Amino acid sequence: MTTAERHIYAAGNTARGYRTLYDSVLAGLDRIYLLTGVVEGITSGLIETMGKELAKKTHQVEWIHSPFMNGQYDGIVFPELKVAIMDYSYPRIWRPQGPGVKEIQVNLQTALIPDKLAPYKDKIAGWYEKIFAYDQQAYTAYGEALRIHDDWEAIYISNLDPQAANQITEEVKELFFGQGSLPKESRVRRMYLGAATPAGPVDHIMKLTDQLDKRYFIKGRPGSGKSTMLKKLVEEAVKNGMDVEVYHCGLDPHSLDMVILPEKSVAIFDSTAPHEYFPSKETDEVIDMYARAITPGTDEKYSDQIHQIKTRYTQKVKEANAYLVDAKDLREQLNAAYWDATDQTRLRAIGQAILSVLARNN
């Protein structure tokens, strides 16, 4: 059996704090197993083990990556089974819809050996306090970076031709929706395009779009209308009854970076730094917002000002990233303590129990 794998982010370290889109990502599922009682270093490994086992029995798997620890997972979704297995450790908590019915909590503390964890008691409290402090410092720095980015955008907004930008949007609308609507209600699913992580910005754009028939790479500058166009395309998709995947910006959740229309097998995305890509297939196309909607010579006219803004922005992003690295180092110590105090046989038994239940119900 060939299994199609997707990799996404459902939560992020943003300029507006830690923000999740779990309600949207997990919508429509029948059961969500919530792994509680320990730390992400324990839950991620269990999620990966169970995910690989279940992947052998289904055609679709969606890995949800952690924005805190590169290479770890916040969860896994099996669309065909309508099941998800999720890390429910701090701060990954969201509003339940049916505890015990839809959300099934699995307490992994039963796999802990108390005598082995007890020596870490004071350290654990201190680690959590420092991790929280570093995360908040990162969010503050990202917030300052976003305000600097607003100054960057303002230059191009003041030199934007609204009519030209609207014309581009109308052209894309015609390409996507000119053949009529579908007789159903649209399903809108929201995720993050990528995430700010301890290793810097990470995304999975190319993997998410590689199998699609058509990709549009939007080029431009901050403030050249990229996100506005994507928002209008989402509105149009909803009006036309088409399912749409909406990918929010990892820095500013209020901004959009990519839209995928699965039924059209098409993606359109902001292809500028820090997620800059270039066409690699014959069917790929570029939409250049700067060339078509910005006053010619804007880059040159404001070059000194833009350079200063870019420098300030880059410095602030690096500062924020450094705080994430500090938090990651403490998370690794926290995870190591819990790993040392975990009975691996019991942990595997919990995983097998979940898999057995899923096998009976599917």
Residues 290 and 186 in one domain: yes
Average pLDDT over residues 119-129: 95
Clarify whether residues 103 and 168 are in a common domain.
no
Whether 284 and 346 share a structural domain: no
Tell me, yes or no, whether 184 lies in a domain.
yes
Computed over every residue of the chain, the mean pLDDT equals: 95
The upper half-sphere exposure of residue 338, i.e. CA atoms within 13 Å in the direction of its Cβ, equals 23
Instruction: Indicate if 175 and 87 belong to the same structural domain.
Output: no
- Max Cα separation, the chain? 69
The answer as to whether 314 is a domain residue is no
Do both 164 and 290 map to the same domain? Answer: yes
Q: Please give the Cα distance from 332 to 69 (Å, whole number).
A: 9
pLDDT score, position 4: 87
**pLDDT given at position 2:** 62
- Rounded to whole angstroms, the Cα distance separating 179 from 242 reads 12
Structure tokens at 179: 């053949």
Mean pLDDT on 47-52: 95
In terms of domains, do 87 and 166 share one?
Answer: no
Say if residue 167 is in the same domain as residue 265: yes
pTM beyond 0.85: the answer is: yes
Q: Please, are residues 255 and 201 in contact by the beta-carbon 8 Å criterion?
A: no
Q: Are 89 and 189 in a shared domain? A: no
Domain annotation covers residue 127: no
Looking at the fold, whether 106 and 174 belong to one and the same domain comes out as no
3-state secondary structure 220-233: CCCCCCHHHHHHHH
Encode 49-77: b = buried (16+ Cβ within 10 Å), e = exposed.
ebbeebbeebeebbbbbbbbbeebbbbbb
Q: What is the DSSP letter of 275?
A: S
Q: What percentage of residues in the chain have a pLDDT greater than 70?
A: 99
Is residue 104 assigned to a domain?
yes
The DSSP letter of residue 241 is T
Q: What's the rounded Cα separation, in Å, for the pair 65 and 10? A: 8
Q: Mean pLDDT, to the nearest integer, of 108-133?
A: 96
* Residue 299 counted as domain residue: no
Q: Are residues 86 and 195 both part of a single domain?
A: no
Dihedral (Cα; 23, 24, 26, 28), 10-degree rounding? 110
- Residue 138: which of 6, 313, 13 has the closest Cα? 13
Q: Measured between alpha carbons, how far is 148 from 288 in angstroms, rounded to an integer?
A: 24
Q: What is the pLDDT of residues 244-285, one digit of tens each?
A: 999 999 999 999 999 999 999 999 999 999 999 999 999 999
Q: How many CB atoms lie within 10 A of CB 191?
A: 23
Per-residue pLDDT at 1 exceeds 60: no
Q: Tell me: do 74 and 194 sit in the same domain.
A: no
Residues 238, 240, 243, 245, CA torsion sign: negative
Q: Is 30 contained in some domain?
A: yes
Q: What percent of the chain has pLDDT over 90?
A: 92
Asked if residue 270 belongs to a domain, the reply is: yes
Q: Examine the fold and report which residue of 294, 310, 333 is the final residue of a domain before the chain moves on.
A: 294
> Could you list the residue range(s) of the whole structural domain that residue 230 is in?
160-294
Torsion of the alpha carbons at 314, 67, 146 and 318, rounded to the nearest 10: -20
Total domains in the chain come to: 2
Residue ranges in 5-67 assigned as alpha helix (H): 22-25, 40-55
| pLDDT tens string 58-102 | 889 999 999 999 999 999 999 999 999 999 998 998 888 888 889
Contacts 24+ apart (CB under 8 A), 128-133: 128/90, 128/334, 130/327, 130/330, 131/327, 131/330, 131/331, 131/334
pLDDT for the residue numbered 70? 96
Strand 194-197 and strand 200-203: pairing? antiparallel
For 189, the token pair is: 């699913």
Return the pLDDT at 59: 87
70/193 same-domain check = no
> For residue 11, is it within any domain?
yes
